[in-house]
């Protein structure tokens, strides 16, 4: 009887809608499986420790350097490191923990191989138009067609356009999409440089670099973006920068592998 009650309690806790903490990262084999399933159009499979692209290019999954601290991973991640910080699928009930930035740790070679190098014009040739909020805005924005990103953003736009009018102020005018540039304050390319990111209305956004740090160097978390907007983006494979300790609440980027790893 006691064991049955404990099992029932475990199920209730696991499915509690108030839980905002993500699950532990999956195993290395599971991470690789998730990655391949997330990008079937561009990834052909795996060969030992290598991820194999459909054009025949190969990249190591694990660089053999072992577990890295946050700063080291941010500066030089392998592909496996991208899964190091789980993404919380539930709505946040408290600010993210120190350096909990799921999706910010990226292997640049992986994204350049997949989407191209914007400095060489390789990304631009795959950009297509997406009509943003056809009913309310009609603005034409650029996103990559690779991995169906533009089509997924169009689906996001259609669902957002159906929301009540009170949401419009968070969605237009846009902050931008494709931009071949580094992340401010770094030499690392932004996900905007691959045509997979969008910044929604800046006027209602909060960004950690705009905030004055406390005496201990920390940044008080702030966000005004409604959860309904975030849920629609996540439904179609986009993660939200508002779930980062280094928050960027206007920012969404197409990272289906990060979302899948948190399920």
Q: Is residue 13 one of the residues assigned to a domain?
A: no
Judged against a pLDDT cut of 90, whether residue 30 lies above it is answered with: yes
CB of 85 closer than 8 Å to CB of 102: yes
Residue 2 in this model has a pLDDT that exceeds 90: no
* Number of structural domains found in the chain: 1
Q: Is 100 a domain residue?
A: yes
For residues 83-115, one letter each, b for 16 or more C-beta atoms within 10 angstroms of the residue's C-beta and e for the rest, the string is bbbbbbeeebeebbeebbbbbbbbbeebbbbbb
pLDDT band at 201 (very low <50, low <70, confident <90, very high): very high
% of residues, the chain, pLDDT over 90? 84
Strand order in the sheet with 58-60: 43-47, 50-53, 58-60
Q: What is the pLDDT of residue 20?
A: 46
Domain-located, residue 4: no
Tell me which residue range forms the domain holding 72.
Answer: 24-261
- What mean pLDDT do residues 205-214 have? 90
Whether 15 maps to a domain, the answer reads no
Could you tell me if residue 19 is inside a domain?
A: no
Q: In this predicted model, what pLDDT tens digit does every residue of 234-257 receive, in sequence order?
A: 999 999 999 999 999 999 999 999
Mean pLDDT of 42-46: 97
For residue range 47-103, list pLDDT tens digits in order.
Answer: 999 999 999 999 999 999 999 999 999 999 999 999 999 999 999 999 999 999 999
| pTM (2 d.p.) | 0.89
Is residue 198 included in any domain, yes or no? yes
Q: Give the pLDDT confidence score for residue 12 in this predicted structure.
A: 32
Instruction: For residue 46, give both structure tokens.
Output: 């795996």
Q: Has residue 99 been placed in a domain?
A: yes
Q: List pLDDT tens digits, range 211-221.
A: 888 888 888 99
pLDDT exceeds 50 at position 9: no
The answer to whether position 111 is within a domain reads yes
């Amino acid at each position: 009887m006691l064991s049955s009650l404990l099992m029932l309690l475990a199920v209730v806790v696991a499915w509690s809608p108030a839980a905002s903490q993500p699950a532990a990262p999956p195993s290395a084999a599971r991470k690789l499986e998730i990655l391949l399933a997330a990008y079937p159009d561009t990834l052909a499979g795996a060969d030992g420790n290598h991820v194999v692209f459909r054009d025949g290019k190969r990249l190591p999954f694990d660089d053999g350097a072992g577990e890295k601290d946050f700063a080291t991973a941010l500066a030089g991640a392998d592909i496996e490191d991208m899964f190091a910080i789980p993404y919380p699928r539930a709505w946040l009930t408290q600010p993210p923990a120190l350096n909990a930035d799921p999706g910010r740790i990226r292997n640049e070679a992986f994204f350049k191989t997949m989407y191209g190098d914007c400095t060489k014009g390789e990304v631009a040739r795959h950009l297509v138009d997406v009509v943003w909020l056809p009913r309310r805005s009609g603005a034409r924005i650029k996103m990559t067609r690779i991995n169906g990103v533009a089509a997924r953003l169009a689906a996001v736009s259609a669902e957002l356009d159906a929301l009540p009018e009170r949401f419009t102020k968070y969605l237009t005018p846009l902050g931008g999409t494709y931009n071949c540039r580094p992340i401010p304050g770094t030499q690392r390319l932004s996900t905007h440089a691959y045509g997979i990111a969008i910044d929604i209305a800046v006027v209602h956004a909060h960004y950690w670099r705009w905030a004055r740090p406390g005496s201990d160097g920390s940044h008080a978390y702030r966000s005004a973006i409604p959860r309904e907007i975030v849920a629609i983006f996540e439904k179609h494979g986009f993660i939200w920068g508002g779930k980062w300790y280094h928050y960027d609440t206007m920012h969404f980027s197409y990272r289906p592998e990060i979302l899948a790893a948190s399920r």
